[in-house]
Homo-oligomer: A and B are copies of this chain.
Amino acid sequence: MKVLKRAPLENDPVPDLCRACKARHRGICGALDADQLAELSRRSHKQVVEAGKTLLDAEEPTTSYSNILAGVVKLSKMLPDGRQQIVGLQFAPDFVGRPFSPESSLKAEAVTATVLCTFPRNLLERMIEQSSGLEHRLYLQALAELDDARDLLLTLGRKTARERVATFLLMIARHTPKGEELEGEAESEAGFDLPLTRAEIADFLGLTIETVSRQLTKLKSSGVIRVEQNRRIRVPDMELLAAETGD
């Protein structure tokens, strides 16, 4: 974890740190004016964390929040006996943290190398009080996360293993920005890298690692996907994949 940039000069209207930032317009910072942005950036730091790094831990008091600038973060819950469930995945420019609660009930962990913009908890909570636009953005993200969580509930409660895996692949495909896609021989073909291991996919879908592997193999045999080097997926026809999701 190394700090890449420091705070900008005080009278800089749009801080350097924020200028090329993904969260600057699409994320919560889009709600801030130049002064607020300057203050936030003065006490923020951009950091790159390696895969596996824990950002927030259940039962640990939270001292900071972050915006994701690149990479993928998983939110998970665990039972006392070790059974684990991933309850959410977050991508840029999502906000990571649980405002108005001294501690999180979740563990937040980077699943890939991830770039974060991190700032202290009390600063954000103070800015929320000053800027209703900021709270509005946070509210909208919470509503989006609620929709995601409820979609996943339907998946876990009612879909077959095959449908779950197809649903997951489609979700990742949709989170892969056009242009970052792999180049397909066929023009219409979509391709992407899975950010998660098989074990993580299993924890996300409420399955075992073996079942995930078998279903990927079967989707491959059915011609719905091709799998290259374990993590690289190609989808010749997105409609075909969508038809496997059950919805």
Interface of A toward B, CB cutoff 8 Å: 75, 77, 79-81, 83-85, 87-88, 98-101, 105-106, 132, 135-136, 138-140, 142-143, 145-147, 149-154, 156-159, 203, 205-206, 246-247
Contacts of A156 in B (CB 8 A): 153, 156-157, 206
- Please, which residue of chain B has its CB at the minimum distance from the CB of A132? B132
Cβ-defined contact, A158 with B246, below 8 A? no
Cβ-defined contact, A106 with B150, below 8 A? yes
Could you say which of B85, B105, B154 contacts A87, with CB atoms under 8 Å apart? B154
CA distance A151 to B75 in the complex (A): 12
- Please, which residue of chain B has its CB at the minimum distance from the CB of A153? B87
- Please, which residue of chain B has its CB at the minimum distance from the CB of A131? B132
Most buried by B among A135, A138, A149, A153: A153
CA distance A106 to B149 in the complex (A): 13
